[in-house]
Amino acid sequence: MSAEAPTQPDGWTRLGHALGHFLAVLLRLLFVILLAVGVGAGVYYGVPYAYATLVQPVQNNTNQIALLNGKLDNLKSGIDASQSAQDARLTALETQTDSLRQRLDADESELATAKANLTAEQTARNDLAGQVADLKAQLSAQTSASAGLRADVDALKPSTAAAANQAAKLQQQISLLRLQNALLLARIQLNYQNLGDARAVMTTTVAAMRSFVQSPGVFSADDQASLNVRLVTAGALVEADPATALTDLESIWSQMDHTLSGGSAAAP
């Protein structure tokens, strides 16, 4: 049995093979082109999207953090400046309080001296009254020396009146010093923000000042009317505005002191 000779592909078969190979190459080329187009489109649209969604928020957050840090630094600087101002104000208030305390101590010393002088003056008046009583007894016993004794008594009467007048003025000064001490105490309480104590002291002081103004023989009728009006006005401000009330009371005290010193009761 003889071997058969191999069959050669015909023209259509070769054409089919060539066309299949061409289509395969064309498909690969088309796939590569589409892949390149897809990659290019991904890069073209993906990079801005990634920048907008990842990089830009990080940059914005970084800028906001830097801005907030700047604001925080400014706030810290403001707080430090405010604290320094408060410390300076506290130091000034403490210095003013020390000065007021020194004035209060000086006024208390003057008040003690005035009390001692008043005691000495009262003792002198008692001694003088005793001398007058002795003179009157001698006048009754010694009729022959009555004329001379009357002359001595008449000479002593002006001295007694002067002493009484001086004692009255001294008592007025003591009353003014007490009122001034009360106002200084109210000022100290006000500086320490003890508003309740300051109001209590001022209320008591207003009553004491009105009583002093209404004392017989101290002020004239016009001065009494003017001072009473100012005291009523200041007293009405004690609860609502103690600082203004204290300033008015200090002004009223100055008017009282000026009037008793011989000046006129001028409006502040």
Tens-digit pLDDT string for the chain (268 aa): 444 444 555 778 888 888 888 888 989 999 999 999 988 887 888 778 777 787 778 878 888 888 888 888 888 888 888 888 888 888 888 888 888 888 888 888 888 888 888 888 788 777 756 765 665 565 556 555 445 545 554 554 555 667 777 888 888 889 899 999 999 999 999 998 999 999 999 999 999 999 999 988 889 999 999 999 999 999 999 999 999 999 999 999 999 999 888 754 333 3
Classify residue 42 as exposed, middle or buried by CB count within 10 Å of its CB (0-12, 13-18, 19+). exposed
Provide the Cα torsion 234, 237, 241, 243; round to 10°: 10
Report pLDDT for 110.
85
C-alpha–C-alpha distance, residues 157 and 137, integer Å = 16
Helix 146-191 to helix 242-260 angle (10° resolution) is 160
Which pair of structure tokens corresponds to residue 118? 């008043």
Within 142-194, where are the H helices?
146-191
In this structure, the number of other CB atoms found within 10 A of the CB of residue 268 comes to: 11
C-alpha–C-alpha distance, residues 113 and 109, integer Å = 6
Are the beta carbons of 258 and 265 closer than 8 angstroms? yes
Report pLDDT for 116.
86
Report pLDDT for 3.
45
C-alpha–C-alpha distance, residues 182 and 249, integer Å = 11
Are the beta carbons of 176 and 187 closer than 8 angstroms? no
Both ends of the chain: CA-CA distance in Å?
Answer: 155
Helix 195-213 to helix 242-260 angle (10° resolution) is 30
C-alpha–C-alpha distance, residues 239 and 193, integer Å = 14
What's the angle, vertex CA 224, arms to CA 103 and CA 177, rounded to 5? 15
Q: At which residue do the structure tokens 């209404």 appear?
A: 214
